[in-house]
Structures are given as structure tokens and as C-alpha cells.
Structure 1
């Protein structure tokens, strides 16, 4: 009860000062994390959330499914064409290389950790969240194709990361229970296959129906806004009903909606965005409340180093490799390399993992993801304004030869 009351008060207070806070690069994730941290500190914390409950597990999975659904519905073919080859290279080359680089960094720093745990962390942190750098992504001083590429990458790579994270998590749990990997892999493949089917049928079928009725004037915009939110919920729950993966189904349903209805008005997705925004606020608040439980003997210099590497070399080298041959200016390559904030998807992946893992593996996943996301929220939020201002500097704008 006190958790919801506290969250509601924080959101109201944030609405009153959000414009002024933006001048100091203070974002809502920062505000919610701090609020959750402060209210969860002490011997008798005001906020205490049972992460292990089945209801919380279902809510976290539904939140991620709706997040992936709304992200996927935003990516139109027109936007992809505007960004050229950039988003495809980021998704098909940089993303898998980032997962590999994250795993190798973990293997060097934590050789005692299990293979599946390190792969789980690497995949969870390969997903990006452009909303943490929204001030920069929406700044018109930054070239349009770069901003579009970052938006497209952020909208789709979390959907690519989801099946990897869930497969690695299942393998880690199975290894802990001395179960064979073939059984886990087979089960995961069946779940994903069912999710693909449900997502295509629900998303494509509902989108086609709404597209036809909208052209004939049978419905209203207000009703359609609710309907598109319902599509994401239906895909998630229907996949669970047939023992498929609801998270993947939500992402596929969003892709199917956009593929079937290319002319879908952005305003018709506003309710979905608002609901996801509210759920995301709760996740950030929950994330902050868990910080006191994680900080302590678990953290050491290696975890801080891993977080730093995850935001720099683990991200930057794969992005630079993916852009070879495109003759982009060096400053553009650096910007795309830097604009890979780790945020909400990584947090939810970690929270889902913590519900199934125990002991040192759970502590390691929590510490690595928490450290990386904390660094990212601060670094990407505070660097947005200076980067945009420097981009307008004539000496920088002149640049050098393309990379």
C-alpha cells in the first residue's frame, strides 16, 4: 500500500517541477530511483516490495511485453528508409557483437561465474533505451539520420535481446538443477515458436480489422487508442494461455501491427504509451528500492569496471565495426557509439532473472545490471546538453574526414 502511495506522490511532485528539472538534465528515472532508494533505506523502510510473488512476476513480464509492443509499433518502413543502412547495421552487426563483447568482459573479470549467467548479463545489457538520452535524440542540432537510427535501434534491439535473455536464464536455472541443456533449449524453442504464431495472428488480425473499420468510419479515435493497448495485452495473455512466451509475443504483435497498418496515426498509440509510461515509472521506483539490498559486500571494483566497460568499449567497438565502409565522420561514429543507454529493458530483464535465480548468481546479475544502469542514467542524462552544444561549435561541425 505504502509503495503505491509513495509512487503516486512522487509522480505528482515530478509533474510540478519536471520542466525546471529538465534544465539540469534531471530525468524521471533519476527522480524515481532516488525516491525508491530513500524510502527503502533504514532498518524499518517505508517501502518493501515482495519481488518473489507470482503477481509481481506476471506484472513485470506484462510490462516488458507492452514496452516491446509499443516500441515495435513506432518503427515504420518510412522511418527505416530515412535512416538508410545505419539501423540495420546496428541491429544485425553491432548487437550480436555487443553480446559477445559483454560476455568476454564478464569472463575475464568473473571467471568463477557460470557461462549462462555471464551470457544472461551480456544479453540483458545489450538492449538500449534511447529515452534516457531523449534530450539529445530529439535535439534538431544532431543529424536526422543519426537520431532516427538510434530510435530504431532502441525500439528493436530489446525485442532481439528478449529471447536470448530468457533462453540464457532458463539454461542457468537448469544448470543449477542439474538438468540437461537439450531439454531447456527444446522448451525455449517451443515457447518462442508459439509466441511468433500468437503475435502474428493477434497483431496482424487485429490491425487489419481496425484499419478496415477506420477507413469506413465505423469507430472513433478514442476507442482505437484503447484497442491498440488491448492488442498488446491480448498477445501477452494469449501466448501464456498456450504456454508460449508472452514477452516475445508482445514484440511480434507490435511488429505485425505496424507491418499491416503502415498509415497508423501516432495519436492512436498514445494510450499505450501512457500506460507503459506509468508501468515504467513503477519499475524505476522498484529498481531504486532494491539498491540498498544490493549495495554492500557484493559490490567491488570489478563490478564497477564491468559497468564502465559495458558503456564504453563493449558498446563502442561493435558499433564502430558495424559502420566500417559507410564513410561516416568520426564524431558521428562516436555519437552512435555513445548513444546506447542501458535502461528500462535491462532493469526488467534483471528483475525477472532475480525471481528465478538464488544465491551468488542472483547477486552477481543484480549488481552488474544495477551498476551499469546507474552509471548510464547519470552519464547519458548529464552528457546530453554538452554534446548537443558542442555539435553546433563551428570547429566541431567542420569535422574531419569520414571514418
Structure 2
């Protein structure tokens, strides 16, 4: 008898929830991560043929865009809530360097590799560059700072967390530029003017403004000097409410919702910074994020099992590894020239630029709103880079950070 697909789905969901709760402890002594395990589960389950559903993003492009969007915004709220360091030009100097220098250098280098190395059309190469620019806030959780007030906020972890919180929004103008190019708008002054004034100027300003307004409103509701303040409820679901309201309100005024969510989280964090309720909100946001991330990675494994990488050539693989292992590290190191951090910290900040869910979202968004033609090769490239990042960074991140911590201890002694 053929098993009921619904029952198989419930079985798989139960296993994923079990992995979410157990794996962080069970995998601590193994060279594996929860992300690697879930991708492997997805490949294994969908390779058996028991699941008739094919989770190929090329088929389910709109669903892929919305699901990855949901995971990213929840992750951005968690990123902002766990930052103990106050906002400041000098305090966040590493972040500004990575955003202002490393990200544009990465986009430019990938654009050149896409056009001259892979023979992609300019719009598609630009979309690939924009998708490869952000450090993923979802899959980079292992290299980020600890929960609010935990003290786990060295320069490397802080830099990667704050960068991931901001560059998912700041790569968006380049995605819009790729969409404009795909529609032939680069040849018109009206298209370029709209991109500069609206896609860059207004959308970033609206994201910053709406994020601050929503964050300030929630900060007042949660921590005002009254017995009626919402933090007394002790319900971390308020973090999800802030996430959805900040994102939706900003999108309604045509701003960057990703930016607004992170700004709202940082604003909330700045209200009564030592209050225990910050940890309640972070924990709830983190649990929901991990559950959605694992479901998404199982589906990603299913897409791999069903031929997502079938169109890859050896040249594609070489360029993809070059993007991951050369372009980002070199761009990161160039951005950190003159920074006061030791070279070991700079090297880790440059190397651990994990690519993941955000990259998938940007490709899905770009393809759904532009006219890029056949996207099979682009999906194969992005899928391979995300897979390689999950494996390479997943296996090396924890040992490298532990080694850095031992070096710091020995240096201090």
C-alpha cells in the first residue's frame, strides 16, 4: 500500500522538530551542523520516491520567494535583539566597513566573473552578484553573538551579526538594478532616475524611519514605567508581532521591510537594555526561525535530489567556489585594511561570510519581477554556492572560532 503523503509529511515534520530541539546538543562533538543534517535528510527522503512532491524553486518560484522572505525577517528580528553593543559610528566600525566596501566589491567581482567567466548576460550576472553579496542572517547563527546579555559578543561575532542584519536590505538596490537591466530600463534616464531616487533613496529612508517608529512604539509599550507595560505578560510572541508589523508597515509605504525589521529590533533592544524580557523575545524568535529554517533546508535537499544542480558545468563549479572562497574573503580583507583588529580576526570576518537563505530569496525575487530568460543555470549556481557554504562554513566555523578564543586567552595570559 502507498503511504498517505499527509502522514509522511507529519512524520517528516516530527523528525524536523526533534532535530531542532536535539541536534544542537547531539552534534556538538561531531563535524556536522543542523543545517548539513537537514539538507542530508531532504536528499535522502526525496531520493526514495516516496514523496511525489518536487520542491524545485524553478517550479515553485512564488512560494520560494515568500517562504524564504518569512524566514529572513524572523531571523533579522533575532539578530537585532541579541546585540548588546550600543549603536555608534566607532563601535560599529567593522560593520560599516563590511557594508560600504566589502559588499560593493563582492557584487562587482561576481558581476565580472558572471559576464566574462560564465558568459551570463549582464542582468543575470548582476542579479547573481546581488544575491551573493549578503552574509546570511539565517544560516550564520552559529557564528553570531549569543543571546541578549550573554556576553558572547567578540569582534568577529558582532561584526558578522550586525553585517547580516543590515546587508540583506542594502543589497536590495542592486537586485532592483538587475531587474531594471533585464527590462531594458538602463537605457532610459527615467528608469535610472527612479532607481536612484526611489529604489535607493526613498526605500532605504523609509526602512530606517518606519523601523525606528515601530521599534520605539514597541519599546514604549513594553518598558514604560507602568504596571500595564506589556513586558509583564512575559510572552515572547511579541517579537513576532513586532517583526510582522515593522515589515508590513514599511512595505505599505514602499520601503525596505528587511531594513525596518532589523532597525526595529535594535531600537527595542535599546529600551531598558538589561531587562530580562529581551531574552524571552529572542528565544521565541530563535525557536521559530530554527524550525522554519530546518523545513526550508529539507526542501532544499529535496530540490537537490530532484536535479537542481543538473545543469552545472566544471567551469560553473570553479567560478562558484571562487566566489565563495576567494571573492568574499579578499573583499572582506580589503574592507578591513587599517582596522585595529588583529589579522586573525580580520581573516575570520572575511572568510565566514556565509551564503544561504537570503541568496535564494533574492534570486527568486529578481526572477519573479524581471525578465531574465532561462534561469536554470542561475539556480544551479546559487544552489551549489549555498550547498558549499553550508558544508564548508558549517564544518569549519566552530573549530575556527574556538581556536581564536584559545589564542585570545593565551595572548591575554
TM-score by length of 1: 0.80
Structure 1 CA distance for aligned equivalents of residues 70 and 142 of structure 2: 28
User: Aligned to 1:282, which of 268, 282, 295?
Assistant: 295
Residue 32 (structure 1) aligns with: 38
The answer (yes or no) to whether the contact 2:182–2:372 under 8 Å persists in 1 is no
User: Aligned to 1:341, which of 354, 359, 365?
Assistant: 354
24-33 or 283-292, larger mean C-alpha shift: 283-292
Residue 362 (structure 1) aligns with: 375
The answer (yes or no) to whether the contact 1:236–1:247 under 8 Å persists in 2 is yes
Q: Confirm whether residue 164 of structure 1 aligns to residue 183 of structure 2.
A: no
Per-residue deviation, 1:300: 0.7
User: Aligned to 2:183, which of 160, 174, 182?
Assistant: 174
Q: Confirm whether residue 121 of structure 1 aligns to residue 128 of structure 2.
A: yes
Per-residue deviation, 1:199: 2.8
Per-residue deviation, 1:386: 4.5
| Other structure's SS at 1:22 match | coil
CA deviation map 1:211-245 (0-9, x unaligned): 215x6464345455222220111122334445555
| Other structure's SS at 1:225 match | coil
| Other structure's SS at 1:36 match | helix
Distance 1:344 1:222, change over 3 A: farther
Q: Confirm whether residue 272 of structure 1 aligns to residue 251 of structure 2.
A: no
Unpaired segments ≥5 residues, structure 1: 399-403
The answer (yes or no) to whether the contact 1:173–1:356 under 8 Å persists in 2 is no
The answer (yes or no) to whether the contact 1:62–1:247 under 8 Å persists in 2 is no
Residue 14 (structure 2) aligns with: 8
Residue 226 (structure 1) aligns with: 237
Tell me the number of residue pairs that the alignment of Structure 1 and Structure 2 aligns.
394
CA deviation map 1:171-193 (0-9, x unaligned): 255349x9973486266455555
Residue 77 (structure 2) aligns with: 69
The residue correspondences of 1:15-164 to structure 2 (distance < 5 A) are 15-41=21-47, 45-49=51-55, 52=60, 57-78=65-86, 85-111=93-119, 113-129=120-136, 132=139, 144-164=154-174
Per-residue deviation, 1:391: 4.7
The answer (yes or no) to whether the contact 2:76–2:137 under 8 Å persists in 1 is no
Structure 1 CA distance for aligned equivalents of residues 157 and 66 of structure 2: 34
356-365 or 98-107, larger mean C-alpha shift: 356-365
Distance 1:277 1:95, change over 3 A: same
Distance 1:221 1:285, change over 3 A: farther
Distance 1:376 1:386, change over 3 A: same
| Other structure's SS at 2:135 match | coil
Per-residue deviation, 1:169: 5.1
Structure 2 CA distance for aligned equivalents of residues 59 and 296 of structure 1: 21
Structure 1 CA distance for aligned equivalents of residues 388 and 178 of structure 2: 24
Per-residue deviation, 1:299: 0.4
TM-score by length of 2: 0.79
65-74 or 370-379, larger mean C-alpha shift: 65-74
Unpaired segments ≥5 residues, structure 2: 1-5
353-362 or 97-106, larger mean C-alpha shift: 353-362
The answer (yes or no) to whether the contact 2:212–2:267 under 8 Å persists in 1 is yes
The answer (yes or no) to whether the contact 1:130–1:339 under 8 Å persists in 2 is no
CA deviation map 1:143-188 (0-9, x unaligned): 93333323322333223224433x1453255349x99734862664
204-213 or 261-270, larger mean C-alpha shift: 261-270
Alignment RMSD, CA only? Answer: 3.9
Q: Confirm whether residue 203 of structure 1 aligns to residue 215 of structure 2.
A: yes
Structure 2 CA distance for aligned equivalents of residues 15 and 159 of structure 1: 30
Structure 2 CA distance for aligned equivalents of residues 87 and 183 of structure 1: 29
Structure 2 CA distance for aligned equivalents of residues 197 and 174 of structure 1: 30
